[in-house]
Chain A
Amino acid sequence: SAVISQKPSRDICQRGTSLTIQCQVDSQVTMMFWYRQQPGQSLTLIATANQGSEATYESGFVIDKFPISRPNLTFSTLTVSNMSPEDSSIYLCSVEGRLYNEQFFGPGTRLTVL
């Protein structure tokens, strides 16, 4: 299994500002995934981040709003830009395991936008 940590664990931000969420994994992984979980909803994939290349975004998510960095095989960041209250969610980092492409999730970052 993989141990994943995220920073910050939670934050309260003002409308129009940006927040960068960090994700650190205890082993080298090829792909890292960023998910959003809105209140009472299931997880929605935002983008897939490969080291050394641009992130691949899912329909409905764009790089200008959610820029992602992947500087090495154990670290990634997701920025939520120009935030609005609709961005209030839990943001989760995830990596794939070797068995059945099992996915391991970080503890999440709970974001509240006022």
Chain B
Amino acid sequence: KNQVEQSPQSLIILEGKNCTLQCNYTVSPFSNLRWYKQDTGRGPVSLTIMTFSENTKSNGRYTATLDADTKQSSLHITASQLSDSASYICVVSAEKGGGNKLTFGTGTQLKVEL
């Protein structure tokens, strides 16, 4: 069964600090891995997408890594801001019949405080 597990479940950090969120997956056949940011009361917004051949991708202060051998990914947030407070969701896409089937993690709830 395809699964995506994220850790930690929740995290509180001080503004300006860095943090790293983890994602482990058992999804096959692997197509790509995505990180989304979901603000409270909003739909998820894509941060990064990585295919099998990519092991790092950045989007501003967000840097995602992918180790396809160990089936792990991380999302590193640099110099956190109050607006980074949100749920971060790891999503892994499996190839299925010419399309993609997504498996969602339960998310890491990040709170950035002064």
Q: Which residues of A contact B (CB under 8 A)?
A: 4, 40-45, 92, 94, 99-108, 110
Looking at the assembled complex, report how far the CB atom of A86 sits from the nearest CB atom of chain B, in whole angstroms. Answer: 19
**A108 pairs with B46, CB closer than 8 A:** no
Partner of B43, one of A44, A92, A100: A92
Nearest residue in A to B45 (C-beta to C-beta)? A105
Q: How large is the interface on B (under 10, 10 to 19, 20 to 34, 35 or more residues)?
A: 20 to 34
Contact B43 A108 (CB under 8 A): yes
Contact B49 A100 (CB under 8 A): yes
Which chain B residues numbered 16 to 52 have a C-beta less than 8 Å away from chain A? 31-32, 34, 36, 41-46, 49, 51
A101 x B100 contact (CB < 8 A): yes
B49 x A41 contact (CB < 8 A): no
Q: Could you give 23 example pairs across A and B, Cβ below 8 Å?
A: A4-B43, A40-B106, A41-B106, A42-B4, A43-B44, A45-B102, A99-B49, A100-B31, A100-B49, A100-B51, A100-B93, A101-B93, A101-B99, A101-B100, A102-B46, A103-B46, A105-B43, A105-B45, A106-B43, A107-B41, A108-B41, A108-B42, A110-B41
